[in-house]
Structure 1
């Protein structure tokens, strides 16, 4: 080759500057929106980013290598482009060690391929390259942030590479080194400006989306992320809501500075527990006051419960040291999973809030999952919050009680009275505790308890209740009354569990709440039907109501099922029941629900 064309060198240097500008922008962010169009987890996006950028670097190097072979006149420029795309990304402080050495291996291959002599100078250059890689790997952050070190390293790399090109005349070698150095001068200032701009943008995003006290995401981010999950139809999604019990007492007793300390320490502790767990794809938020939420994307409730119990227990057992005070706190937790009927994120949030409220109503320091207490440290407190009232079910002929229906009530401290609970779906453990409380007060040791469709579908509930019935020798009969019928598939799965344990199944409020079409497919799996006169009294004429009662009684007889007539309020109702041949009845005529007196 002859003397180098200085005009061409200048033009190629300007082109190199434009190339660097595009490469830096693309490397930092321009291809990331492509990932945002798909429902990838954060870890998957990170993995794809690293693998994708490494592949992109190698493809660019191969492209420029091919260009140098096809267009040898401009090979100096193409080789510098290849060297640049292989060297500069090694300075990225976000790369993993494996990724760094994979990229380094690509650089070594490029180095070997472009040496035509493989003499002693080449061996010396490989030693120098290895030293360069070790220095970058060990002190890359310090080199990248200091102009003298960064440009000095670039000059060292340029000399080491271009001096292996012994087939070139000296002017080409000088221009090759000079162009690479000039590219790195521009790269340093441009990349530094890009990093500064990115840092400023990141800080602005944090100010908008991060809670200043706890450094976790705030309510605005929670709402936005939640809506995005719903729009992307990500399944499953589990929402864990918790707050600090009696937090106002912490503020009142120790001061607001102590309260802020507790908030930040709780957030820090749970962040660490989350980070140490094998679970990924979660976001942690402070959504107001002492309330926090964790969204677990692509995780079922069962996947996160061990973690929830872990941080619930660790927070309870930890003494938070503030000045001279040791402060102990507990958490109330509500857990729910996205359901098919959740058309908005607000519906999921409302159900988590209801579960949290349920934990509060059950004495706090409790975990409620889908309306059932999953963990609690105060079973006696639960029994004082909830109680079973009993109403007799009688034999129509003898007028004597044959069973007691146990009706759930909740004590409202503000009004100082027992009321219908806001949430009926208490856990099997709580029901058993309440049964143990009320059973000694009942003369007739036969009981019926009510279950919602979701409670009935829970196999754990079925097994716990049947196990209790089998071990409680004083309890002569147990009936579970399903207030909302499940699907036939669920009934076929659950009914054998109850029947194997000797527990009977009744469908409550047929006709009024559970119509003919949904009840008939279940008749082979149940033992009893209950018809409530009072539920239809305002909808139909009295004669029509009794016609319906007769129809359901006949249906029960055809399938050899027991039948209970509810809502018997006077002698006329009793006479009509006897006329139809009904043998079991319940209603105000026999007695209202009462709270049995404790010993």
Structure 2
């Protein structure tokens, strides 16, 4: 064999195996990507892999019969096609040995049968197969092992092949070794990229401190499980838990101690959940907050394991620098219900129940608002509170609506929160409770622009109105002026459901003469008497005129005194709100 012929065959071989390896690795990802129990379709996909190898080998075999000049070239390519798949570490034992038998079959088809030689070659191939089966990762990803494997295989193949001279044998062995160098380079590069992707995936999907699944993974998997449970009409229990007094542990014992608490609590939860017969998922969704999902489990089935998790955390004997640190957790529990539209509906209920557990002194379990084994002597620390403030028809001083409000306890005083962004699920839950206590069945709630333009929030409020016949009227007060596009799109949907829209944005609203484009799409405006810049009486009268022309409602809030009330009457204001009519009594903080 001349050098030119050898070089041309080498070039053909390199191009062939480059295409073959690229195709084979793609086929592997497609056919062998699933682990665990397999469906019929997945089994057929796995069977397609050896089938393709057999068909390609048969084609190369056929080519050797039709092109006598280049027979060794095609046999070398066939040897590579049969040998390379055996390096695949995703093959099961059965798949490995079946492909090995297929390779052996083609080997002996192309070699003259000599009993002594047959037995020797068979022993070499069996030994090499055993070595490959048990040391495959080392052979595939290490240069020296990979080249030894290729050398033994090619030397054995070509030394036992009759009909060619020694120079040709060496030439085809060298070609096979060069093909193996290429495959090893490709395998190592692919393996490094795969490990990098696996590392990045793990960093995204798992919390590096506790090794619980991350919040990102929670959003992905919990949404999928929720949709699956809804679609199949199967139950699922949702557990949210929060380690009690975690900030105090960090402040008193150091963040290192806090990290130890997180790791110990996670390890305890996993060990306890491992005893549960059903499937479960554990996620770290925040600093000291965790979520447990129990798919295909009703509340009755879940309560025992939830109690075990709670008790296991309570029994933890944790020490930091020889100091004992008590670890407890508060639990909020709910299940997927028929009226739930999205995962946030379930999450919101669990969060509400967790809040109730905190109210009952922590270290307890609350299921849909009902606390199990609550400690009657627990001291409750209130950090925020809810109340309603009436909106008054000033001429008659009758209550026409009750607005749901919140105050937070900060630096020793009850203060107005910077932003009222209470979740829709919580606000709906509060409204359901309030309707049984209030004489006037008209309510008003506050939404941010993001909440107002959220598809799920819109659906949930529309559904609440439809399913609550005792509710006379619901008003949403937007804390900032949305864009015209948002106001037109979502305003129509809210108002078609009978939900009124008020703009409560006294610091950012344009003056009545500057822009009135938004007025047709809302039901009114709220102005705060004490936050109007400029001539208060003049600006209020301007807005009143604009509202009257468009048959909209103007509410004057911030009426705190008799003087404020008389000014509102003098200006002809019909609706007002403020501490002059009703001042809430905040919980006393000790």
Deviation, 1:492, is 3.4
Once residues 376 and 577 of structure 1 are traced to their aligned partners in structure 2, the CA distance between those partners, rounded to angstroms, is 42
Deviation, 1:92, is 0.5
What whole-Å deviation, never above 9, does each CA across 1:408-463 have from its counterpart, x for those lacking one? Answer: 223426535354265432334555446636974x6x53543213152684322343
Once residues 492 and 305 of structure 1 are traced to their aligned partners in structure 2, the CA distance between those partners, rounded to angstroms, is 39
Q: Which residue of 1 aligns with 2:163?
A: 171
Q: Which residue of 1 aligns with 2:550?
A: 555
- Say yes or no: does 1:87 pair with 2:83: yes
Q: Which residue of 1 aligns with 2:405?
A: 408
- Say yes or no: does 1:483 pair with 2:478: yes
In the alignment, which of 564, 575, 581 is matched to residue 584 of structure 1? Answer: 575
8 A contact 1:316–1:330 mirrored in 2: no
Once residues 201 and 596 of structure 1 are traced to their aligned partners in structure 2, the CA distance between those partners, rounded to angstroms, is 60
- Say yes or no: does 1:245 pair with 2:236: no
**What count of residue pairs does the alignment treat as equivalent?**
480
Once residues 12 and 245 of structure 2 are traced to their aligned partners in structure 1, the CA distance between those partners, rounded to angstroms, is 59
What whole-Å deviation, never above 9, does each CA across 1:283-306 have from its counterpart, x for those lacking one? Answer: x99799657899xxxxxxxxx997
- Say yes or no: does 1:73 pair with 2:69: yes
Instruction: Give the gaps of 5 or more residues in structure 2.
Output: 35-41, 140-144, 218-237, 318-326, 334-343, 360-366
What whole-Å deviation, never above 9, does each CA across 1:172-211 have from its counterpart, x for those lacking one? Answer: 3988888777777788898779878887887788889757
Once residues 179 and 258 of structure 2 are traced to their aligned partners in structure 1, the CA distance between those partners, rounded to angstroms, is 53
8 A contact 1:68–1:75 mirrored in 2: yes
What whole-Å deviation, never above 9, does each CA across 1:318-356 have from its counterpart, x for those lacking one? Answer: 3686997487645799xxxxxxxxxxxxxxxxx9xxx99
Once residues 180 and 268 of structure 1 are traced to their aligned partners in structure 2, the CA distance between those partners, rounded to angstroms, is 58
From the superposition, tell whether residues 573 and 99 of structure 1 become closer, same or farther in structure 2 (CA, over 3 Å).
Answer: farther
8 A contact 2:10–2:175 mirrored in 1: no
SS of residue matched to 2:389: strand
Deviation, 1:532, is 1.4
SS of residue matched to 2:550: helix
Q: Which residue of 2 aligns with 1:391?
A: 389
Q: Which residue of 2 aligns with 1:262?
A: 265
What whole-Å deviation, never above 9, does each CA across 1:14-62 have from its counterpart, x for those lacking one? Answer: 9499949985996599999xx9xxxxxx99xxx9x99999999799869
Q: Which residue of 1 aligns with 2:422?
A: 425
- TM normalised by structure 1 equals 0.53
- Say yes or no: does 1:542 pair with 2:537: yes
In the alignment, which of 437, 446, 452 is matched to residue 451 of structure 1? Answer: 446
SS of residue matched to 2:163: helix
From the superposition, tell whether residues 270 and 402 of structure 1 become closer, same or farther in structure 2 (CA, over 3 Å).
Answer: same
Once residues 191 and 577 of structure 1 are traced to their aligned partners in structure 2, the CA distance between those partners, rounded to angstroms, is 86
Once residues 490 and 306 of structure 1 are traced to their aligned partners in structure 2, the CA distance between those partners, rounded to angstroms, is 35
8 A contact 1:495–1:505 mirrored in 2: yes
Deviation, 1:555, is 1.7
8 A contact 2:279–2:294 mirrored in 1: no
Once residues 143 and 24 of structure 1 are traced to their aligned partners in structure 2, the CA distance between those partners, rounded to angstroms, is 27
Once residues 149 and 214 of structure 2 are traced to their aligned partners in structure 1, the CA distance between those partners, rounded to angstroms, is 42
From the superposition, tell whether residues 433 and 199 of structure 1 become closer, same or farther in structure 2 (CA, over 3 Å).
Answer: same
Q: Which residue of 1 aligns with 2:464?
A: 464
Instruction: Give the gaps of 5 or more residues in structure 1.
Output: 36-41, 164-168, 223-239, 295-303, 334-350, 367-373, 523-527
From the superposition, tell whether residues 322 and 576 of structure 1 become closer, same or farther in structure 2 (CA, over 3 Å).
Answer: closer
From the superposition, tell whether residues 258 and 462 of structure 1 become closer, same or farther in structure 2 (CA, over 3 Å).
Answer: same
8 A contact 1:9–1:175 mirrored in 2: no
Q: Which residue of 1 aligns with 2:133?
A: 141
8 A contact 1:243–1:331 mirrored in 2: yes
8 A contact 2:389–2:405 mirrored in 1: no
Larger RCO, structures 1/2 (Cα 8 Å, 6+ apart)? 1
8 A contact 1:391–1:405 mirrored in 2: yes
- TM normalised by structure 2 equals 0.54
Once residues 279 and 7 of structure 2 are traced to their aligned partners in structure 1, the CA distance between those partners, rounded to angstroms, is 51
Deviation, 1:142, is 1.4
Deviation, 1:72, is 3.9
What whole-Å deviation, never above 9, does each CA across 1:216-274 have from its counterpart, x for those lacking one? Answer: 7999x99xxxxxxxxxxxxxxxxx9x98523748899999756433345668999999x
Deviation, 1:87, is 2.6
From the superposition, tell whether residues 508 and 155 of structure 1 become closer, same or farther in structure 2 (CA, over 3 Å).
Answer: closer
SS of residue matched to 1:412: strand
Q: Superposed, which structure 2 residues align to 1:176-215 within 5 Å?
A: 210=203, 214=210
From the superposition, tell whether residues 66 and 581 of structure 1 become closer, same or farther in structure 2 (CA, over 3 Å).
Answer: farther
- Say yes or no: does 1:594 pair with 2:580: no
Deviation, 1:395, is 3.3
What whole-Å deviation, never above 9, does each CA across 1:462-512 have from its counterpart, x for those lacking one? Answer: 433564562xxxx8x544233256633333334444x4xxxx624243886
